[in-house]
Amino acid sequence: MFNKVEICGVNTSKLPLLSNEEKKELLVKIKNGDEEARTKFIQGNLRLVLSVIQRFYGRGEKADDLFQVGCIGLIKAIDNFDINQDVQFSTYRSTYDNRRSKKIFERQ
């Protein structure tokens, strides 16, 4: 049985878990313009967004705002990810998030 944890209106127990192979397949489909694959990939990576925003929660920002910034970052990371590089998306995404978050919080 899954524990229900709701963050920013997202029930984490209902988020899909994608295997590394599924992620690779979806990324190829995304690069070929498959919007359904894009949606599935985004939903399958919302846990990653939630884990990233936890690092910044409590610094005066609203959780919903952080979640929105995290989702935008996820989408931008998907758009900029090179499937021909020998790196997992989650590694790329974490590096991308750290740089992007620092820029956002330095401006405030």
- CATH number for 17-106 (one of 3.30.70.1450, 1.20.120.1810, 2.130.10.10, 2.40.128.640): it is 1.20.120.1810
Percentage of the chain beyond pLDDT 70 is: 79
pTM over the 0.85 mark: no
**Residue 21, pLDDT score:** 93
pLDDT tens-digit map of 40-75: 999 999 888 887 777 777 777 787 888 888 888 899
**Residue 30, pLDDT score:** 97
Q: Which of 10, 4, 18, 12 is closest to 89 using CA atoms?
A: 18
What integer is the mean pLDDT of 23-42?
96
Domain ranges of the chain: 17-106
DSSP 3-state assignment of 7?
strand
